Amino acid sequence: MSDTHTLSLDDAWSLSVRILESNGFSPDHARAIARTIWQGQRDECHSHGLYRLLVCTHTLKTGKVSANAVPELTDAAPGLVRVDARGAYSLLAYDTGRPVLIEKARKQGIAALAINHCYHFSALWPEVEAIAAEGLVALAMTPSHSWVAPHGGTKGVFGTNPLAFAWPRPEGNPFVFDFATSAAARGEIELHRRAGKAIPEGWAVDSDGQTTTDAEAAMKGAMLTFGGHKGSALSAMIELMAGPLIGDFLSLESQAYDAGAGATPYHGELILAIDPKIFMGADHAVHSQRAEALFDAVLGQGARLPSQRRYEARARSEASGTVTIPQALYDDLQALISE
């Protein structure tokens, strides 16, 4: 028997919605969650693709996340829209706040969306890409659980704290990067554990503070930041900007709130949108071309842009109309369908 399973893109969508709805998520939440999971799988971001259905349904079973809370939007200031997710996953809150964020950024050049009281499991690139599709520059960040040791330490303080950025381009896909500020996303370690594979050195230390390549020991110990003290400082910035600044939890507080349930992290998210037409002024087209020269200088020497792999994966999935996942994951997903 093959150790992989191929599904059509349509079946990946309907399987995701069916699992989420049959486990109790409201249709609106199920669709908002399924959209980001489906996009992740389509772009071969396996740590935030169909695998996350296991995480979302587990979190629902812990009784922590709301399956049906309706997000509450507040127009907090000319440059700030807040959406209270009211204890649900972040995606519906993001969908609720994005149109107002875009309108505000277009009106005054820059605006922020603060999402509060949300469970957050998703990749951030779908969010910044959606804002770039409107011609705006976007930056998004969020804490998680305190799995990551500060540079020089061995105990978790920071989350895996992703940072995502999108820059709209005159032609084609936007320039997008999206990375955890840990050496790798927690999801990558989870996938290594599921596959019984060793993790690379430099990702984590065990509970005695010793470097480890054992995924299980890494999950019990502490993850490490990317780029040493630089990733550590960026991670601290994300804690502050998407934590206390917006009146929400740090990763340490999210971990304490979890109280061993093993649920998705619970905290806030900060998303900024900038209208380049307002910032660049009358010479917008000229400055936009200068940005293109930067990308040409990268590509011209054989280096690649971030998201190039992802866009190629997207084109491949769309051409074949399919996605492929491990058979063991497919079996686990089938077991999640409750009638």
Is 121 a residue that touches ligand NDP (CB under 6 A)? yes
Piece in contact with ligand NDP (CB under 6 A), picked from 6-14, 81-89, 117-125, 247-255: 117-125
Residues 133-152 as x/- pattern, contact with ligand NDP by CB under 6 A: ---------x-x--------
**Integer Cα distance of 182 and 284 in angstroms:** 36
- Token pair belonging to 34: 């399924």
Quick check: is 47 catalytic? yes
> Considering only residues 180-209, where is the footprint of ligand NDP by CB under 6 A?
180, 184-185, 188
User: DSSP 3-state assignment of 285?
Assistant: helix
Is 144 a residue that touches ligand PYC (CB under 6 A)? yes
Position 51, amino acid: Y
CB of 48 to ligand PYC, least distance (A): 6
80 closest CA partner among 213, 329, 273, 263:
273
Which of ligand PYC, ligand NDP, none does 17 bind, CB closer than 5 to 8 A by kind?
none
- Token pair belonging to 30: 């199920």
Among positions 47, 59, 146, 307, the unique one binding ligand PYC when judged by CB under 6 A = 47
Among positions 23, 41, 59, 122, the unique one binding ligand NDP when judged by CB under 6 A = 122
Quick check: is 72 catalytic? no
Is 23 a residue that touches ligand NDP (CB under 6 A)? no
CB of 165 to ligand PYC, least distance (A): 18
CB of 47 to ligand PYC, least distance (A): 6
> Considering only residues 102-121, where is the footprint of ligand PYC by CB under 6 A?
121
Dihedral, 327, 43, 234, 264 alpha carbons, nearest 10: -40
**Integer Cα distance of 76 and 190 in angstroms:** 38
Which run of H or E residues covers position 80? strand 80-84
- Token pair belonging to 316: 């491949």
Quick check: is 318 catalytic? no
140 closest CA partner among 171, 94, 100:
94
**Looking at the annotation, which residues are catalytic?**
47-48, 188
